[in-house]
Structure 1
Amino acid sequence: MEDKYYSRVIKMMVFILDFYLISLAFTITKKLGIEDGVPDNQETSFFLIFSLIWVISGFLTEIYRINKLTSFRTMVWNLAGSMLVHFCLLMLLLYTTNLYQIQNLFLPVLYASSFALFVLSRMAYKTTWKYFEFSGFDQRKIVIVGATHSGRALYEFFESHDFARYNFKGYFDNNPDPLIIHKALIKGRIADLKAFCLKESIDEIYFALPPGNEELLADISKFADDNCIYLRITPDFGDVVSDKYNMFMLDSIPVLTPRREPLGMAVNVFLKRLFDIAFSLLVIMTVYPIIFPIIAIAIKLDSNGPVFFKQPRQGKKNKLFLCWKFRSMFVHGASERQATKNDPRITRVGAFLRKTNLDELPQFINVLLGDMSVVGPRPHISAQTDMYSEAIRKYKVRHFVTPGITGYAQVNGFRGETKEVSLMEKRVEYDVSYMENWSLALDVKIIFLTVWNMVKGEKSAY
């Protein structure tokens, strides 16, 4: 509860500071000589709208979900993602309402100065936390009852995160397993716990024994209360479930799941869908009018056949939908055979479209229809699903979420032809990892990497 309180206070402080930094960014932009960016009579309203959209994009990309464990790199990625979401929402507003007449250089300079100030503020945040950690402020002495898997996980957590706040003093267990906990870390039997706590002025006791030790737990709880020592309970389920399981609370009931499921929460699904709609509309309104006619004409001049290629693919919960693409092959009968390197079926224009991922552009229509997401596991044809689901155990786990135009596996190099089952296994591994670690910031990162790969080209794209 204490950490949650600190988290709320820090979140509010950063939230308020961001408003000031946006105001400062407006001032800096003017000082740089770009004074006619927004008419004077519209400046206040534009500032409020700009700030409000920043708050919306900030909560969508979780930039305010920070604590002392959040790495600076993660903070910067989240800020970049929030900037992209902010830009999409602002452009959508400006394009549809035409409320403001903004000078061309004003927005780029405003965004650059805002981003620089936000990064500096997060850097100051991390520096402040480091100062408190290494100064020993609020340092607490802790012991762990139970040389168990859960107890080892606690110890490794404290050690790996370099907690100067927590000073680990040792384990207490009657039958410690040297294969789990090194004997040098064992300070004694459970009977020795109370005397040690009083002698060393212990602040917190972590109880990490398996269920079934209620009498012992009650005794330690009374001792802790009598001596103003905080008791934390982390029951050990090492013999029942693996550390890959995830726990959440259903009211006051702990529930275990085989994996983290952020997209199993309705609010996250809503936020992801909102981002998909905003981003797709931005692409359709800005990119489609320029690129679509050029690609369509090129396809028609290069070979006979339709401009678009539609193919049934398996989506969320195995439901079939028609996936749209620009046609990149000559018209032929075999539409379910995977493309290979130097495939004679691919046209000259099609080779370029595949290399640059431009053949996927029509799928933003699929996104608006709700069949696809901007980011997610790539949808496969039914024949591939039937084949790989028998060979790869977690293959169909991908279908818990909406398929995407681009995905975590694709930006990590696993796209194109899959000659071996091991290559598909790696794709599935990345897809499941994406599902377990989803955030809007991760979606934005994948979009950035996809665009970068389009620019530099990919060997596996054909």
Structure 2
Amino acid sequence: MSNHRYSQYFPILFLIADLVCLNVGVIAANLYQFGFLIPDQNYQVLQLLLNVIWVGVFFSSRLQEINRNSRLLDHLNKVLTGLVINLSIVFALWFALEPVDYSRKYLFVTYLIFTLAILLWRSIWHYVIRYYRIKGYNIRNVVIIGKGDLSESLKEYFKDSPELGYRLVGIVDDKNDADERMENFEQYTISKGIDIVFCCLPNMNDEQVKDVIDFAENNLIKVNLISQFSRLSNYNLSIEQFGSIPIINVNSIPLDNMVNRFIKRTFDFVFSAIFLVTILSWLVPIIGLLIKMESKGPIFFKQKRHGKDNNFFLCWKFRTMTYEKNAEFKQATKNDNRITKMGAILRKTSIDELPQFINVFLGDMSVVGPRPHPIKLNEEFQPKIDRFWQRHAVKPGITGLAQAKGFRGETAELSDMSGRVKLDRFYVKNWSLILDFKIILLTALSIIKGDQNAY
């Protein structure tokens, strides 16, 4: 085994760098709020409190543990999750410490700078450590047991991904073309300084696997098991424990995790509450008056739609069409004569969707997620598109990946809906907080540029 291991120092490096970013944010807030570095005693106590809270969040969220196989987006999503938890604690304490009136602008500047700084330094770290590994440092020696298709695929993966820092030393098997035979495995592993063993289960029996694990644990070597389930790479696999029996779940999604659901719901609640107070509170009377001036009928259009797990909810929108009581559903088309002049503006700018922040606040919807279709539209396309209902495994959203990628408006062709569902399913399987932020940004840019499908 290598005598030079610097990974043990990474956790303290990450913690110190994160705290530097936090305190840069505090210094920026001090200069913005007071014009000098050291504020009064109350804000000094706040600075100390913010540092203590981050230390707690840092270790509880395991921000010091960075898997070398993780993508940059996975890394940043983990950091953003920690930031959301941190902000939840800070704002809870802010309300609890009512006698001390801390400035909202102060906290906003602090966490804006902190967020930008920590994402920047963590991104730089990601690329620096990968370049370092390409140069031959921070390497882990690995060996594969069992020669076959899976071992060949893993061998190619190591060869094509030098930035991950895995050096394949050899393949152990009783086949003639293997680098070493199983009977010499222990001596071979020790002599080559192996750090990680990959066992291909189709080529090993239970007794061999047990012997390898026992040997590895006595020599501080990690063991990874590769099975035929590795071929199901298009599915989200996770291992659950039923008593003492490990069970492989082939369709788990990130939002099955309770912590992820808490993070997403916290973001939705805070975002929607701020939006309702700061924008919708004055926008509704103005839009409502303009709608009423042009045509008779209610300000809002409320329609029953499928939500998470196909449960029904009332979806809110500004009314954009002429009002007809108990009218049958008919999808809006280009130059639809039912759309009012005011409605055309609202639909073109997506302002008609803004009342759905009420749905988000109530918990029926999310800021980001698959768009909720009218029920008849779901009934029409569900039999024609494979795994259509998977998009309803999460809460529907005001905007979604499909809308950010241009799949908006009328679904006149099967291919239109199929493309939308495909992106929705990708979102469900690959949700992350940073993906939500990316979709929000893409949606904002789409609204500014204008979308020809928005009618």
Same fold, TM exceeding 0.5? yes
User: Which residue of structure 2 lines up, in the alignment, with residue 182 of structure 1?
Assistant: none
Once residues 444 and 60 of structure 1 are traced to their aligned partners in structure 2, the CA distance between those partners, rounded to angstroms, is: 23
Instruction: Quote how far apart the aligned CAs of 1:327 are.
Output: 0.3
**Which stretch of the first structure deviates more once superposed, 326-335 or 308-317?**
326-335
Is the alpha carbon distance of 1:282 and 1:59 closer, same or farther for their aligned partners in structure 2, counting shifts above 3 Å? farther
Instruction: Give the letter for the 2:421 counterpart.
Output: V
User: Which of 213, 237, 259 matches 1:246?
Assistant: 237
Residues 76 and 434 in structure 2, CA contact (< 8 A), matched pair in contact too? no
Residues 57 and 86 in structure 2, CA contact (< 8 A), matched pair in contact too? yes
User: Which residue of structure 1 lines up, in the alignment, with residue 228 of structure 2?
Assistant: 237
Once residues 396 and 34 of structure 1 are traced to their aligned partners in structure 2, the CA distance between those partners, rounded to angstroms, is: 54
The answer on 1:268 being equivalent to 2:260 is yes
Residue 297 of structure 2 aligns to a residue whose secondary structure is: coil
Instruction: Quote how far apart the aligned CAs of 1:244 are.
Output: 2.6
**Which stretch of the first structure deviates more once superposed, 393-402 or 231-240?**
231-240
User: Which residue of structure 2 lines up, in the alignment, with residue 181 of structure 1?
Assistant: none
User: Which residue of structure 2 lines up, in the alignment, with residue 385 of structure 1?
Assistant: 378
User: Which residue of structure 1 lines up, in the alignment, with residue 159 of structure 2?
Assistant: 159
Residue 279 of structure 1 aligns to a residue whose secondary structure is: helix
Question: What are the ranges of 5 or more consecutive residues in structure 2 without an aligned counterpart?
Answer: none
Question: What are the ranges of 5 or more consecutive residues in structure 1 without an aligned counterpart?
Answer: 177-185
Instruction: Give the letter for the 1:234 counterpart.
Output: L
**Which stretch of the first structure deviates more once superposed, 405-414 or 329-338?**
329-338
User: Which residue of structure 2 lines up, in the alignment, with residue 299 of structure 1?
Assistant: 291
The answer on 1:326 being equivalent to 2:353 is no
Instruction: Quote how far apart the aligned CAs of 1:159 are.
Output: 3.5
Residue 293 of structure 2 aligns to a residue whose secondary structure is: helix
User: Which residue of structure 1 lines up, in the alignment, with residue 277 of structure 2?
Assistant: 285
User: Which residue of structure 2 lines up, in the alignment, with residue 408 of structure 1?
Assistant: 401
Residues 68 and 129 in structure 1, CA contact (< 8 A), matched pair in contact too? no
Instruction: Give the letter for the 1:141 counterpart.
Output: N
Is the alpha carbon distance of 1:268 and 1:378 closer, same or farther for their aligned partners in structure 2, counting shifts above 3 Å? same
Residue 246 of structure 2 aligns to a residue whose secondary structure is: strand
> Aligned ranges for residues 165-244 of structure 1 at < 5 Å?
165-173=165-173, 187-188=178-179, 190=181, 194=185, 197=188, 201=192, 203=194, 204-210=196-202, 213-217=205-209, 230=221, 232-237=223-228, 244=235
Instruction: Quote how far apart the aligned CAs of 1:165 are.
Output: 3.6
Instruction: Give the letter for the 2:393 counterpart.
Output: F
Is the alpha carbon distance of 1:460 and 1:190 closer, same or farther for their aligned partners in structure 2, counting shifts above 3 Å? farther
> Aligned ranges for residues 2-151 of structure 1 at < 5 Å?
10=10, 13-28=13-28, 30=30, 35=35, 40-47=40-47, 66-72=66-72, 100=101, 102=103, 110=110, 113-115=113-115, 117-123=117-123, 125-126=125-126, 129-130=129-130, 132-134=132-134, 136-137=136-137, 139-151=139-151
Instruction: Quote how far apart the aligned CAs of 1:341 are.
Output: 1.7
Once residues 56 and 311 of structure 1 are traced to their aligned partners in structure 2, the CA distance between those partners, rounded to angstroms, is: 45
Once residues 380 and 249 of structure 1 are traced to their aligned partners in structure 2, the CA distance between those partners, rounded to angstroms, is: 33
Residues 147 and 178 in structure 2, CA contact (< 8 A), matched pair in contact too? no
Instruction: Quote how far apart the aligned CAs of 1:399 are.
Output: 1.8
**Which stretch of the first structure deviates more once superposed, 120-129 or 403-412?**
120-129
Q: TM-score, length-normalised on structure 2?
A: 0.80
Once residues 208 and 461 of structure 1 are traced to their aligned partners in structure 2, the CA distance between those partners, rounded to angstroms, is: 52
Residues 61 and 439 in structure 1, CA contact (< 8 A), matched pair in contact too? no
Say what the alpha-carbon RMSD is for the aligned residues.
4.3
Once residues 44 and 148 of structure 2 are traced to their aligned partners in structure 1, the CA distance between those partners, rounded to angstroms, is: 60
User: Which of 303, 322, 341 matches 1:348?
Assistant: 341
**Which stretch of the first structure deviates more once superposed, 86-95 or 107-116?**
86-95
Residue 287 of structure 1 aligns to a residue whose secondary structure is: helix
Instruction: Quote how far apart the aligned CAs of 1:321 are.
Output: 1.3
**Which stretch of the first structure deviates more once superposed, 361-370 or 114-123?**
114-123
- In the comparison of the two structures, how many residue pairs are matched? 447
Once residues 426 and 62 of structure 1 are traced to their aligned partners in structure 2, the CA distance between those partners, rounded to angstroms, is: 37
